Structure 1
Amino acid sequence: MQLSFETDVEAFRAEFAAFLDEHLPRGAESLERPRSTAHIPEWARRWQRLLFDEGWLLPGNPPEFGGRDASLLQQYVHLEELARRRIYHSFNPQGLGIIAASLLSFGTEEQKHRWAVPVLRAEKTAALGMSEPGAGSDLASLRTRAVLEGDRFRVNGQKVWTSGAHDADFILTFVRTDPDAPKHKGISVLIIPTDTPGVTRRPFGSLIGPADLDFNEVFFENAEVPAENLVGELNQGWTVANGSLGHERTLLWLGFAERLEDLTQDFRPDGVLGRDRYATLVMDLQALRLMGSAALARAARGEQDVAALSVLKLFGSEAVQSATEAALETAGPDALAHPARTAPFNPMTLEDFYAGWFERYARSFSGTIAGGASEIQRTIIAERVLGLPRG
């Protein structure tokens, strides 16, 4: 077993690290904090554009889409270097990692340059319209309806949990275009600009507090959308959905590993958690890194292992939640304090977004939902790893 990277991969890492050392925003230029996951302050737009222009935004993409045709292992060390320095390469993560990636995979050439490139260059931001009041993890139950009338779709329905929609320029929206087809069929995907008449966005607070406005309800009332905004083929939206979430899941485990790494630095063996819980945290981190490395090696060889990604997603997200819950219990009333808030705010670092233990614990729930809820991952593991029959 080789637990190191080849020379070309490490050279790629060194080149990126040198770029970061020279160009990373610092000081007063990076003080403005984003309002939501679809609001990018002007300094951060400049930063993302520089990454795009230099091919460091998404290195696996071709140069015209912000990359340099990097291998999977090179993409991994790129993300690892960002995570090690706790750097965001975009404050519109769903726009960059899911929506633009989906448009590049399934969109027309016109859609790629009109919608995906502006998102990659931080000239536009995007939100993802999947979940509905009656269709969360079960996306196939969605009811938002789009009827093709000549050269336009007429859209009616509702989405919810649409992160950043109130600040986004457009929403990649999953709609039902054939109500008579089986529920996994008859779904299509539309690019819907948020200034379209009949589109209403209503942000609402979360467990973190009423001022934490990222989630939205989105209502469509006879909203007319040009037929040219259809992404992929009519009634083939399930294929786009699987591709969209696939873009999100491939290296998702690395984020959980870095969170656990952060927690080991915060706790220490004689700190908040005590020795036993600290040891569990360290073992979880090592197990996640080893399983993730094995999955990465298989992917680099071109092997598809969806079940392994489910194991990593489930284990990583719940390990982070377990560790922050333990810290919350141990710290008692002190867990409600926000120590990082007293320091000068640096929006380039993760710590300022997860300041207090209660906030860290509350936010850990999103990790067990986004990218496929834990219950869904357990079903995949039961059927595709353990070979259990459908219940």
Structure 2
Amino acid sequence: MQLNFDADVEEFRAEFRAFLDENLPSEAQAAERAGSSADIPQWAREWQRLQFDNGWLLPGNPPEFGGRNAGILEQYVHLEELSKRRIYHSFNPQGLGIIAASLLSFGTEEQKKQWAAPILRAEITAALGMSEPGAGSDLASLRTRADRDGDHFVVNGQKVWTSGAHDADVILTFVRTDPDAPKHQGISVLMIPTDSPGLVRRPFASICADDDLDFNEVFFTDVKVPAENLIGELNKGWSVATGSLGHERNLLWLSFADRLQDLMADFHPATDIDRDHYATLVMDHQALRLLGSAALARAARGEQDVAALSILKLLGSEAVQRSSEEALIAAGPQGLVHPALTSAYNPMDNEAFSSSWFERYARSFAGTIAGGTSEIQRTIVAERVLGLPRS
């Protein structure tokens, strides 16, 4: 396996590094955190817009949407360099990685101008309205309903776990438009402004006590949505759903590799796990990198391997969770103490020092749920790799 890149990819990397060297926000700016995943501080809006204007926001996009038509290998080194600098390219990740990407794939030219470009330029922020109280992993069971009434839809129902909804300007919302169709059919997608009458957002806390509010319940009561806000075809929303999650999963494994790298670097005498567990952590990190590199090479050749992405998601998310748990156990009662209460605390250090070992372990469960649960990933591997019958 060749684990280096051709000269043109390294030239791309060097150009991006030069841009970062010249324009990277200060440490003081980067230390300022957003209140939610749809709350962008002013400095971060300016940083995102600067990347957009220079084609560095999402290099795989065309220039008019913040990119430079880069290939998958260039997109990989772009994310790798951002990770090395410990800087986000956006504080509205679902807006960039899922919602704007879905608009570029399924939206009309007018919708791209109206919503995709402003989201990418950090002029507005977006949330994703998928999950419901009875439709989490089984998204096709959603019951939020949209009935056509002349030139608009009337929406009634509820969403939950809608990250950043209370700060977002719009919600990409999955609704049922044909209740008599089979559950994977009859679904449509609407872009709904959050200031629409009848739309109520209720943020709620996560398990991590020091978290700002991000999760939301969203209630729709006779919310009128213009018919031109329909994204994609009527009753064909399942293809938008699978496409939306596909955008999220493509290089998701890299974020887990980065978190494993952080864990390897963050152990210290107060939270030192035993050598066997540390060796497992190192091997998991190396395996994830190697398997990810192989999947990356296949993607660069135009090959699609959904099962490989499921294996990477499963390996990465569960390795992070397992290692975080082992670190918490090794730390004992000290693992419950926030680092700010210890002499080792440095607010300019990486994310590891912004939360206790317990909080890091608690957050690890999000990785085994978001982007497709571990159970769903195992089903995909069983059917597509092992050839087992459909459950």
Q: What TM-score does the superposition give when structure 1 sets the normalisation length?
A: 0.96
* Residues 182-234 of structure 1 deviation map (CA, whole Å, 9 limit, x = unaligned): 00000000000000000000000111128531000000000000000000000
Partner of 1:193: 193
* Residues 141-168 of structure 1 deviation map (CA, whole Å, 9 limit, x = unaligned): 0000000111100000000000000000
The change in CA–CA distance for 1:121 and 1:341 in structure 2 (over 3 A counts) is farther
* Cα separation, 2, equivalents of 1:108 and 1:219: 27
Q: Could you tell me how far 1:378 is from its partner in structure 2? A: 0.5
8 Å Cα contact 1:337-1:356 kept in structure 2: yes
Which region of structure 1 is more displaced relative to structure 2, 210-219 or 378-387?
Answer: 210-219
The change in CA–CA distance for 1:224 and 1:271 in structure 2 (over 3 A counts) is closer
Partner of 2:159: 159
The change in CA–CA distance for 1:345 and 1:121 in structure 2 (over 3 A counts) is farther
Q: Could you tell me how far 1:2 is from its partner in structure 2? A: 1.1
Partner of 1:250: 250
8 Å Cα contact 2:106-2:240 kept in structure 1: yes
Listed as ranges, the matches of 1:137-148 within 5 Å are 137-148=137-148
* Cα separation, 2, equivalents of 1:336 and 1:271: 11
Structure 2 counterpart of 1:152, one-letter code = H
* Residues 30-78 of structure 1 deviation map (CA, whole Å, 9 limit, x = unaligned): 4542110000000100000000001100000011000011111000000
Partner of 2:11: 11
Structure 1 counterpart of 2:130, one-letter code = M
8 Å Cα contact 1:340-1:351 kept in structure 2: no
* Cα separation, 1, equivalents of 2:180 and 2:386: 35
Structure 1 counterpart of 2:242, one-letter code = N
8 Å Cα contact 1:143-1:175 kept in structure 2: yes
Partner of 1:218: 218
Unpaired stretches in structure 2, ≥5 consecutive residues? none
Partner of 1:279: 279
Q: What TM-score does the superposition give when structure 2 sets the normalisation length?
A: 0.96
Alignment partner of 1:334 is 2:345: no
* Cα separation, 2, equivalents of 1:184 and 1:101: 22
Partner of 2:121: 121
Alignment partner of 1:231 is 2:231: yes
Partner of 1:170: 170
**Cα-Cα RMSD:** 1.7
* Cα separation, 2, equivalents of 1:67 and 1:346: 30
Q: Could you tell me how far 1:351 is from its partner in structure 2? A: 3.5
Listed as ranges, the matches of 1:1-391 within 5 Å are 1-209=1-209, 212-267=212-267, 272-339=272-339, 343=345, 345-346=347-348, 349-351=350-352, 355-391=355-391
Identity of aligned residues (%): 75
8 Å Cα contact 2:271-2:331 kept in structure 1: no
Which region of structure 1 is more displaced relative to structure 2, 363-372 or 9-18?
Answer: 9-18
Unpaired stretches in structure 1, ≥5 consecutive residues? none
Q: Could you tell me how far 1:271 is from its partner in structure 2? A: 6.3
8 Å Cα contact 1:267-1:278 kept in structure 2: no
* Residues 72-126 of structure 1 deviation map (CA, whole Å, 9 limit, x = unaligned): 1000000011112221110000001000000010000011011011110000000
8 Å Cα contact 2:165-2:171 kept in structure 1: yes
* Cα separation, 2, equivalents of 1:302 and 1:214: 36
8 Å Cα contact 1:99-1:128 kept in structure 2: yes
- DSSP 3-state at the match of 2:146: strand
- DSSP 3-state at the match of 1:147: strand
8 Å Cα contact 1:340-1:356 kept in structure 2: no
